[in-house]
Structure 1
Amino acid sequence: MVLKLESVTKQFGQFTAVDQLSLEIPNQEMFGFLGANGAGKTTTFRMILGLLDATDGKITWDGKAIDYSTSHLVGYLPEERGLYPKLKVREQLIYLARLRGMPKNEALIELRLWLDRFKIPEYENKKVEELSKGNQQKIQFIAAVLHKPKLLILDEPFSGLDPVNVEMLKEAVLALKENGATIVFSSHRMEHVEEMCEHLCILHKGSPVVYGSLKEIKRNFGKKNLVIHADFKLDGLKDFPGVVKSKPTMEGIHLQIDGEAAADKILKEIVGKGFIRKFALEEPSLNDIFIEEVGNSYE
């Protein structure tokens, strides 16, 4: 069941929010969208779900548009949360699951499993407004997955969560993928996409500037990071041949270089000048790639 976008464009008057976006997301894929605020991520999700009509292009899942006939197979966590604050957790989650065609008894069993997983079983009969923002977000996530969707779209799922709850939610998302779901999520946190996704798309002003396999994107970037910790000054390396960027650190220096040959020459240059505690050649981070492609226009 491939999710396919073909030359998708969305315009609001004279403003183009998404411009000629084409990509394919295969079944059981974990796919990440990156971009600054206003890059077009949420608009893309709303078009996939059929909440917005594309101005041009075509979106299909398993060869068909997503509509009410397939909504029971789809889960959506919006960036702007939408729970009913006066309703109790149990009654609103069961109601939402039944809207997706899930029997009440099955929904209740699944609800309690999720509450136990998130270590909040005592919140079953509490009103949403009585919960902290972090726990409200857990309930919103449960609402998106309770009916066991085959396609799950998560818009900034980790926003506002503390590190403990981020890890809990990440484990849950990865488990859903292992159980057969296709998961598409957006984030402006590079490390989350880098850790979880096989493929990704970086949007900038509505256009895809990077798209493909994370491994291939890193391999084709053409630059590497060199981290050096030493007990002597390394400032002179910033002007060394092959060094693209440099950043001093408390323990030494962090260099971006144009290839492995530069690392070999730098090592020969510093050997014998003092004690070297660390000399590590690393792949470029997704953050490096994002800044190179998008610049400093994101928040």
Structure 2
Amino acid sequence: MLELKNISKYYDQHKGIAHLSVKVKKGSVLAFLGSNGSGKTTTFRILLGLLKPSEGTILYHKRAIREYPSTLMGYMPEERSLLRDLKVFEQIRYLARLKGMEDALIEVRMRKWLEELGITHYRNRRIAELSKGNQQKVQLICALIHDPEIIIFDEPLNGLDLENVQLFQALITYLKKQQKIILLSSHQYESVEPYCDSVLYLYHGDVIFQGDLLRLKQQRQGRIMQFPKQCGRNWLDQKGVLDVHEENGYTTLRVDHERTAAMIMKELMRDDIYEIQVSLPSLRELIRGYMDERAH
């Protein structure tokens, strides 16, 4: 288990992160969420030993993380950090050697990951010649080739099209089965939500909420309703309806409580509308709810 205990980082009077405590089990994904400047990358740099915390400790299996070799972690930064004039195989081999890997093992694992990510045919191409998405895949291989136990992905979906987002999601599922600890940040909530076990939302260095994602959703009183659109009905006039969206012949309501959802469902059924879906809030709606509460 990875444990961050009361981690804070201050730059003179400026707060980078304050009193962050969290535990992450093997085989699970923790998503660090928040706008730019909220403290996500600061936390990652502290984990990697690139920054020293102002206070707090980081433990892995109850030992200080600084006692472990650098191969414990794999890191894919948000910004491209590749040497553009190198060929793909040269870039991967260079970084793998820095992790102490022998060339024979590097070659075996490189072939595996190039094939897994569908870029074997780019092996001898210069980094500069690759698309942003394929450069991202090369960075991914560099982060994984030494088989780290803890993997940090900082905005990993940047530059990926839908097909490659799905490929990344499949990769996360594979890494979870390998009992890796995965920490990631992303603004693409819909894409990361399906495989996140827990989330932590930061705002200007403060933790706004954190915990098991499903449990957080269940604790919120609001619900999402979807049903065929009814002409001439203004749902915002209905008590407890917070938001209305209409698209492709369907109405989607965000309501304040499951009791409101039950009342609206009864009304719809009296009008012979039975195609009704009631669901927990999405990750984006969960964030909106917490931030609305903070604003008030």
Taking structure 1 as the reference length, the TM-score comes to 0.92
1:268, 1:39 → 2: CA distance? 43
Tell me how far 1:132 sits from its aligned partner: 1.2
1:97, 1:41 → 2: CA distance? 26
> Partner residue of 1:225?
224
1:216, 1:73 → 2: CA distance? 30
> Partner residue of 1:138?
137
Matched ranges for 1:26-65 at <5 A:
26-65=25-64
Question: 5+ residue gaps in structure 2?
Answer: none
Question: 5+ residue gaps in structure 1?
Answer: none
1:270, 1:96 → 2: CA distance? 60
- Which residue, 265, 287, 291 being the options, matches 1:290? 287
> Partner residue of 2:240?
242
- Which residue, 246, 260, 263 being the options, matches 1:262? 260
> Partner residue of 1:162?
161
1:135, 1:10 → 2: CA distance? 34
1:9, 1:177 → 2: CA distance? 28
2:228, 2:6 → 1: CA distance? 47
SS in 1 for 2:105: helix
> Partner residue of 1:104?
103
Cα deviation 1:93-128 (Å, max 9, x = unaligned): 112112212221111011011111122112112211
SS in 1 for 2:53: coil
> What code does the residue aligned with 2:147 have?
K
2:16, 2:171 → 1: CA distance? 31
Matched ranges for 1:82-101 at <5 A:
82-101=81-100
- What RMSD, in angstroms, separates the aligned Cα atoms of the two structures? 1.9
Range with bigger deviation, 158-167 or 55-64: 55-64
1:252, 1:175 → 2: CA distance? 36
Partners of 1:244 and 1:257 within 8 A in 2: yes
SS in 2 for 1:276: coil
> What code does the residue aligned with 2:58 have?
I
Partners of 2:221 and 2:257 within 8 A in 1: yes
Taking structure 2 as the reference length, the TM-score comes to 0.92
2:184, 2:197 → 1: CA distance? 12
Consecutive aligned runs of 4 or more in structure 1 exceeding 6 Å deviation: none
Matched ranges for 1:166-181 at <5 A:
166-181=165-180
> Partner residue of 2:277?
280
Question: How many aligned positions are there?
Answer: 293
Identical pairs, percent: 36
Range with bigger deviation, 146-155 or 124-133: 124-133
Range with bigger deviation, 23-32 or 212-221: 23-32
Distance 1:46 1:104, change over 3 A: same
Range with bigger deviation, 84-93 or 136-145: 84-93
2:250, 2:26 → 1: CA distance? 45
> What code does the residue aligned with 1:93 have?
I
Cα deviation 1:241-289 (Å, max 9, x = unaligned): 332333344524322223333223223323454x637321111111111
SS in 1 for 2:74: strand
> What code does the residue aligned with 1:27 have?
K
